[in-house]
């Protein structure tokens, strides 16, 4: 079992928890109330910091209901194991209506993933593949 340590940085911060046993992600909560206009992005504080083991990464993902029903999308969201600062969530309203996020609302889900050991190696040639150098959309619709 991997332990994620959560530190409340603000007395109003909500400590995240899994909603149900077996869930892949846990929700983070907004520490402020703010109305996001269509096309606007806003950074929401959460009032928490984390510590988790090296070899893992915490990724932010959209909450499906907010995305599907209101166009609320999360930008950025790769948290390294060495980061100890406050988690802040960048929200973009891709919808056509304003959307009010209230203090305490669940605004993003976070997933902790184990990373493989990776080595970056510069080479002069890459192996051939049947994909080649085709561009975006090359496989059709």
Tens digits of residue pLDDT in 19-32: 999 999 999 999 99
> What are the extents of the domains in the chain?
5-114
Q: In the structure, what pLDDT confidence band is assigned to residue 130 with cuts at 50, 70 and 90? A: confident
CB-CB contact of 108 with 77 (8 Å): yes
Q: Give the residue-averaged pLDDT of 28-37.
A: 98
Mean pLDDT of all residues in the chain? 94
pLDDT of amino acid 50: 98
pLDDT of amino acid 132: 64
CB-CB contact of 6 with 50 (8 Å): yes
Nearby residues of 24 by Cβ (< 8 Å), 6 or more positions away: 111
pLDDT of amino acid 23: 95
Q: Topology of domain 5-114, per CATH?
A: Deoxyuridine 5'-Triphosphate Nucleotidohydrolase; Chain A (2.70.40)
Nearest C-alpha neighbor of 6 from the set 74, 87, 63, 60: 87
Q: Evaluate if residue 78 carries a pLDDT over 80.
A: yes
């Amino acid at each position: 079992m991997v332990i994620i340590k959560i530190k409340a940085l603000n007395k109003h911060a909500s400590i995240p928890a899994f909603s149900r046993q077996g869930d892949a992600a846990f929700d983070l909560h907004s520490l402020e109330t703010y109305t996001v206009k269509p096309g606007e992005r806003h950074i929401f504080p959460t009032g928490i910091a984390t510590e988790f083991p090296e070899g893992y990464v915490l990724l932010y993902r959209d909450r499906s209901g907010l995305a599907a029903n209101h166009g609320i999308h999360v930008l950025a969201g790769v948290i390294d194991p060495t980061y100890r600062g406050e988690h802040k969530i960048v929200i973009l309203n891709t919808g056509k209506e304003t959307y009010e996020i209230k203090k305490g609302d669940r605004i993003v889900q976070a997933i902790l993933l184990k990373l493989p050991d990776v080595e970056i190696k510069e080479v002069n040639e890459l192996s051939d593949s049947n994909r080649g150098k085709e561009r975006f959309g090359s496989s059709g619709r």
